[in-house]
Structure 1
Amino acid sequence: MNRKKLFLLLLSCSLGISSYAGDIEFSGGDWKMILKEDTKKIDIACNDATVLTGTYASVKYNKASGTEETTLNTDDCTGVELVRSDLSDNFGSGEKVSLDYSFSGNTHLIQDFYFYDNYPYFLVRVTIKDTEAVSSNQLIPLMSQSSSTFLAKDDSNRILYVPWDNDGFSRYAARKFGGETATSHEATAIYSAQSRKGLIAGSVEHDTWKSAIVVHALATGTVDYFKCLSGYTNQSTTRDALPHGKVTGTEVRSALFMIGLYDDWRKGMDAFAHANTLVAPPAPWEGGDPFGWSSWGAMQTRINYQGCMDVADFLSQDVFKNAGFVDEKGRTILSLDAWYNDNMNNEELSSLATHCKEKNGLIGAYAGFLCRWDWENRESPLYPNCPYKVKDILLKVNGEEYKNPANGALCVDPTHPGTIAAMKYSIINYAKLGFNYIKIDFMDCGICEGDSYYVQDITTGVQAYNYFMKQMYEYIQQKMPGAYTVLAMSPMFPYQYTTGRRTTCDAWGSVPNAQYVLNATSYGWWTDKLYTVNDPDHLVMIGVDYDSNQNVKSVVEFSEGTNRIRLTSGAITGAYMVGDNFSDNCKDGNGTVVGNPGLSRERALKLLTNTDINEMVRLCGAFYPINGHEGTTASVLGADYVYADKYAEDGSEKLFMYETSASVYVAVFAYKDAQNATIDFARIGVHPDNVSEIKELWEGKTVSFTSTGFTYDVPKQDVRVYRISKKKVDVSIEETTVGTDALAIARIGNKVHISSETEIDTVALYSLSGGILSVDKVSDCEVEIDTASYTSGVYIVRVVLKNGEIIAKKLVSIGV
């Protein structure tokens, strides 16, 4: 490895001595850093424009042999050494620049900057190093309390707030400049919605720390406080009553943070998600977005065997399959939620699983591995003949059992052998029953900071959670290979252990419920790069209100417009799982049929058989906002069915879009009042000469357009989805070496075989003139295109990676 050392030699190795030669500069890609002689702080510029000024690193620690805490800031150092070294890792090749700050005694802070040849961002971390062990729970690799202006003054300037988990009806927010300091969990964007320029910052490692980015900005457009922090807890957001657990060693390092400046903050957030996957790849899944049904939407505690059989039969009809209400493998999912094992015995469950498989369906169970609701049964074994009791696995906080403040469940120690054994016991049972789907709930109860953990080397909630999740993932792969797993209430990070994750807390069928789900899609669409599937919860068309005895109190018959809003909120988010009761055999304790099965079936036959909408779900990932500062909100709790549409920082956008190789989709929501306005083609990146047709998908009508855009017209409390079909794409051929390790394209008989080391998102086939012949949503590393029906000639295969990057455009001679 080529290593070049530059020593800042001073009389006493101190930056503050007058004989110092001047500022020190180092750079990587578009970034340039200047370590200032007078302040001992670093100014950071991108493309010669200042981004952050006066930055430094900071660590709070104590000697492991004592308790007195000390805070060290790099601008208080007595000396510094700069070391450059070559990089080659999962991010590719590049250069690492390390600043080794020395202090009195043997303590050093090492600030590492990572620059990569193929990425426009840099990574940064800080490490405290000593000859004797130290303990720390607060490491700040980059901080500035100086004024920095990289955005012009603009009323659309925002700071993205990302919630730690999805419990307690938590929300994303786009905070206005000039407001209170924003503390965002794991990631943020500081952006102008109008120009779309934005600074992205976030942690890309999630094995030890709960991290946060703290930002304050003035209404003038100036950011006057910026901090990347590893070691953040807060009872109302991370659900912790304790400070973050400490990590001890002769070297303790922060998480690795990404910093990037983008012309489009939305692409920056996608890049942030992709950077995470280079550290920890997502869990694989070959089925694409799931289609199906969840029992918790209407049946809830009244779930029963015959009711579920009826639903399986109803949704497996050819009318749904032919219309595309199936996943990429032609399957639908039957998700059995809470109370399924209370109301059905193993014989019934096994019969139901067999029935679903015969109809090419998946069936799944509900689990809560890291929480306990049976606090009155502390002396009970975790399962029959288990050597551990409920009380043995409960997490202690300040010496007492701890209930998660978001949901009231008892938290457990994820590292306790009883917790692991109970999880394995459940998975064995799921496998015996023939299940191949698990919804895992209240996992946020397993990542709280505790007094201690059974595995003594583990000292933080995130470490404990990873310990459990890794074993859970591996055991599911062993006992239920290929199973679909989805987290319900859970932290966003770490993400690599399950296929999907709910984007929100519970949501049913009202417009406010849809707005709540779309809040997460508005500002957290990018999480579908972390999880294969974003889950918008059950999509309910005809709702049910229960009384305290779980008997039907009333049936809520939402309008078709409201149904379209709720269904579209799911379609543009990810999973497409309905929640109505379609069975006349599901009744409450009084013998009353749950919901209105006849009306639910009628709505399903009308709305779930829309071929264009179903195709859109399979082809597209999560939609993203066209703007990013126009959130509106309505009450989610309390007056649940009251329509409201007022500006709110934690609201949801009205305009969303998604682009594929063949089309640009635009969704327009009218949550309360009718919406009528023009979409400018330039705003959504569409060239008017490349538009062949615009079709509204819910009504199936063609929409006229001009050379600048098109007009949408949405009735009150309804939604319209527009598909802008392209005439052709750019057919210029890039130089691509086919057959490398990164990408291989080969003709085998009448098929074109494509394989890639990186997961492929979309493969499209074009004629040489740019006409679209086929588009396939892949979500795999290998794909074949059948070309037997094409005449001999020259065609173009266009391959797009899961992160949205085009990796090849290659001429291929195909046909017979």
Structure 2
Amino acid sequence: MKFRFKRMHYCAALCFILLNLTSYAQKIRFGANSLIDYQTEKGIFNVYVDGELVLKDAFSAGRVNKVFISSKDFKKRTTQKSQFKNSVGKGLCYRFTAKNEAGLTLEQSVYAYTDQNFFTIDVKVLGADLSSNEMFPLKGELVTKQDFSDFTSLFVPFDNDTFISYQANLLKIGKENTSSEVTAIYNRINRNGFVIGTLDHDQWKTGVISKLQAPTLLDLTVQSGFTNEEITRDKIAHGFLKDSSITSSKVLFGYFNDWRLGMETYAKTVRKNEKPIVADWKGPSPVGWNSWGVMQEKISLDKAKKVVDFFADELKQFRIGDVCYIDLDSYWDNMLKGDDYSLLKQFADYCKSKNLKPGIYWAPFTDWGFKDGPDRKAKGGQYTYGEMWTKVGNGFYDFDGARALDPTHPGTQMRIKDMISNFKKCGFEMIKIDFLGHAAAESTQFYDSKITTGMQAYKVGMEYLLKCLDNKMLVYAAISPSLASGKYVQVRRIACDAFKSIKDTEYTLNSVTNGWWQTYLYNYIDADHVVLADESEAANVARTLSAIVTGTLISGDDFSSDGQWKARATKLFQNQDLLKIIEDGKAFRPVEGNKGKSASNQFLKDKGKVQYLALFNYENKNASVKIDFQQLGIKDQSVLAVENLMTRKQIDIVHNSEILLQPAEAIMLKITLK
């Protein structure tokens, strides 16, 4: 018995030692062949993919009550492990918890997906009377076996205002690269790369910041609570969250063989994580017309009816699913007489009589007449505009020539309810909403004191707008936050205003080159109004194909007046081969993305046995485009036929064929595989 007793104590002691030893390192597996090595005594972790180190000395932190607190500050922590299954996938959640002498608890949650090639992480701080406007769910050092000399850092804008561009920047030692909400850092030769991005956008604006410190070492910081006037448009620092617990945005980290697949995976994951509030659109891909392209302030009922007649009589085949929208943009109030909406109802009824769907435009969170003073009474209630303005310091938030309205103010909401009610009474079936970024501005004090950040205010405003719309219209966002709007609208314009020139085409396709993945975040992304005007036929074709590549087609010429644009529209917009491509509403993929502020000149859409390849020349001189089947993912011997859909002629191409494009020319190839 004595021997057995000693043996039992020896076994217990050995188990205790083993448990404590293993607690110093947690081996967390995720995806097909990836591992997180969490060193619990240091509060840091390394990430390996296929046995190779890709993230080194990573940790989480926050600035709470003006004190910086980091997972590295603690020597002891508890670890909880539990299974999870959510809308994204399934796996194991590891929760690392530590507490300091001041009574603050820091909690890291790592979600290791067994069925996804990424993990997610967030950090939470718990305590009494907490206040923070800076949380760092992930900080560390990206590493590569060779060096970062061929790597590109993708800049994703917060919104699509001020003609901002996406940008693919080659990494340079000492240069800091900052992106809004998400970035891809990828090898421009083999496309291998990292994708790091936020999955929720209700509370924080987040910046993803990288800086190359050495040829093989890239600092990475993900900062929830990021503002920068040139990126997020904010005039002040990020608002403070105040509670007994404050949690950062949840961040996805993945390493992918093809960064394009990584960005698509990211967008799909955001959509699963942030379930849309707006109804999932069951109708056909939107095509139609918008008045801002050319008509702009000259809009009138007579001119709008003439446009309707042109679409009804001369563009009968410009439909998808027998649907086409005729949308009145800004200056539709030329048809308003006080509170009399009868002319607008006449327009909507006239559209419907011609089997067309009427659309309208509005900017719900802006005051364009603020220079006329604060005492003007807003429609729908008893409040003045001065009471509704978004407060910033001792002033207000002015941008784009308009003053922001506080989305949490009852006067703003009464105005929205009144306007949307009138639109619905008129019978509009589509609404283009604009300047939504004004609703996301950080404020010194919102009317609703429980709302303390711009993204919280954006949520309040957009949810109220959707409540008023009641799923009665197709909802299209123009200028708007890129990531945060996915829950609220069915269509989002991919860039800022684009009109008619080949440079407009290049600008639009810069956003598609680097932001095409938003096709999985929204029902549709849109290339803005396609204007033909008096440009060359080549430029007209390029502008049209830029829309096809994006996934929808909204035209913008003044079809109430005569000009070459009518004949060109009749030919281009009724090309059934092109319309068939956008029936699914999905954007093309860029063949290459490392084009700086320019755009890829090749875009591919994979439809199984049919591959659509769009080629562009953005220059006013001849250019040749090489067709590299390996880059396209096409086997040379599998090509059965190639047709130029613009000329409807068969052409012969093989691997590394060069196609000559005329100045400003674009073509669409249909590649049929065996």
TM-score tier (shorter): over 0.9
TM-score (norm. length: structure 2)? 0.92
Are 2:323 and 1:331 aligned?
yes
CA distance in 2, matches of 1:205, 1:150: 32
What does residue 470 of structure 1 align with? 463
SS in 1 for 2:68: strand
The answer to whether the 8 Å contact 2:41/2:76 transfers is no
Q: Write out per-residue CA displacement over residues 565-619 of structure 1, whole angstroms, 9 at most, x where no aligned residue.
A: 11111111122111111113xxxxxxxxxxxx23221111222222211211224
Residues 150, 429 of structure 1: alpha-carbon distance in 2 compared, 3 angstrom cutoff: farther
State the shift of 1:535 in Å.
1.7
CA distance in 2, matches of 1:471, 1:176: 42
Q: Which of residues 256, 264, 268 in structure 2 aligns to 1:270?
A: 264
What does residue 544 of structure 2 align with? 567
Q: Which of residues 26, 29, 33 in structure 2 aligns to 1:27?
A: 29
TM-score (norm. length: structure 1)? 0.77
Are 2:289 and 1:293 aligned?
yes
CA distance in 1, matches of 2:177, 2:148: 19
CA distance in 1, matches of 2:585, 2:466: 27
State the shift of 1:536 in Å.
1.2
Amino acid at match of 1:333: Y
SS in 2 for 1:296: coil
State the shift of 1:668 in Å.
1.0
CA distance in 1, matches of 2:156, 2:404: 23
What does residue 131 of structure 2 align with? 135
Q: Which of residues 85, 93, 117 in structure 2 aligns to 1:120?
A: 117
What does residue 558 of structure 1 align with? 535
What does residue 532 of structure 2 align with? 541
CA distance in 2, matches of 1:694, 1:134: 64
SS in 2 for 1:316: helix
CA distance in 1, matches of 2:38, 2:71: 11
Are 2:352 and 1:357 aligned?
yes
Q: Write out per-residue CA displacement over residues 711-743 of structure 1, whole angstroms, 9 at most, x where no aligned residue.
A: 42211211111111123xxxxxxxxxxxxxxxx
Residues 303, 174 of structure 1: alpha-carbon distance in 2 compared, 3 angstrom cutoff: same
Amino acid at match of 2:538: G
What does residue 428 of structure 1 align with? 421
Residues 288, 196 of structure 1: alpha-carbon distance in 2 compared, 3 angstrom cutoff: farther
Q: Which of residues 444, 462, 476 in structure 2 aligns to 1:451?
A: 444
State the shift of 1:152 in Å.
4.9
What does residue 258 of structure 1 align with? 252
Q: Write out per-residue CA displacement over residues 612-671 of structure 1, whole angstroms, 9 at most, x where no aligned residue.
A: 112112245111210111x2xxxxxxxxxxxxxxxxx22211111111134111111111
Are 2:237 and 1:240 aligned?
no
RMSD: 2.1
Could you list the runs of 5+ residues in structure 1 that have no partner in the other structure?
1-7, 63-68, 543-556, 585-596, 632-648, 728-816
State the shift of 1:150 in Å.
5.5
Instruction: Compare the two structures and name the one with the higher helix fraction.
Output: 2
CA distance in 2, matches of 1:113, 1:37: 13
Are 2:307 and 1:307 aligned?
no
What does residue 810 of structure 1 align with? none
Q: Which of residues 495, 499, 502 in structure 2 aligns to 1:508?
A: 499
CA distance in 1, matches of 2:22, 2:300: 79
CA distance in 1, matches of 2:180, 2:148: 26
State the shift of 1:53 in Å.
0.4
Amino acid at match of 1:504: A
State the shift of 1:78 in Å.
3.6
CA distance in 1, matches of 2:468, 2:146: 49
Amino acid at match of 2:577: D
CA distance in 2, matches of 1:209, 1:225: 22
CA distance in 1, matches of 2:378, 2:524: 31
State the shift of 1:40 in Å.
4.2
Q: Write out per-residue CA displacement over residues 733-789 of structure 1, whole angstroms, 9 at most, x where no aligned residue.
A: xxxxxxxxxxxxxxxxxxxxxxxxxxxxxxxxxxxxxxxxxxxxxxxxxxxxxxxxx
Amino acid at match of 1:451: T
State the shift of 1:20 in Å.
9.9
Once the two structures are overlaid, the 10-residue window that deviates more, 34-43 or 45-54, is 34-43
Are 2:602 and 1:655 aligned?
yes
The answer to whether the 8 Å contact 1:288/1:533 transfers is no
CA distance in 1, matches of 2:653, 2:586: 26
CA distance in 2, matches of 1:435, 1:443: 20
What does residue 670 of structure 1 align with? 617
The answer to whether the 8 Å contact 2:40/2:75 transfers is no
What does residue 685 of structure 1 align with? 633
Q: Write out per-residue CA displacement over residues 661-692 of structure 1, whole angstroms, 9 at most, x where no aligned residue.
A: 34111111111132224312221111234322
Are 2:646 and 1:698 aligned?
yes
SS in 1 for 2:210: strand
The answer to whether the 8 Å contact 1:321/1:330 transfers is no
Amino acid at match of 1:525: W
Once the two structures are overlaid, the 10-residue window that deviates more, 108-117 or 429-438, is 108-117
Q: Write out per-residue CA displacement over residues 693-721 of structure 1, whole angstroms, 9 at most, x where no aligned residue.
A: 11111121111133x36442211211111
State the shift of 1:9 in Å.
9.1
Q: Which of residues 36, 49, 52 in structure 1 aligns to 2:52?
A: 49
Residues 620, 432 of structure 1: alpha-carbon distance in 2 compared, 3 angstrom cutoff: closer
State the shift of 1:437 in Å.
0.9
Q: Write out per-residue CA displacement over residues 116-137 of structure 1, whole angstroms, 9 at most, x where no aligned residue.
A: 232111111000112x121111
Q: Write out per-residue CA displacement over residues 66-119 of structure 1, whole angstroms, 9 at most, x where no aligned residue.
A: xxx110111111421121111122123211011113322221211111022321
Residues 526, 92 of structure 1: alpha-carbon distance in 2 compared, 3 angstrom cutoff: same
Could you list the runs of 5+ residues in structure 2 that have no partner in the other structure?
1-14
Q: Which of residues 482, 488, 495 in structure 2 aligns to 1:497?
A: 488
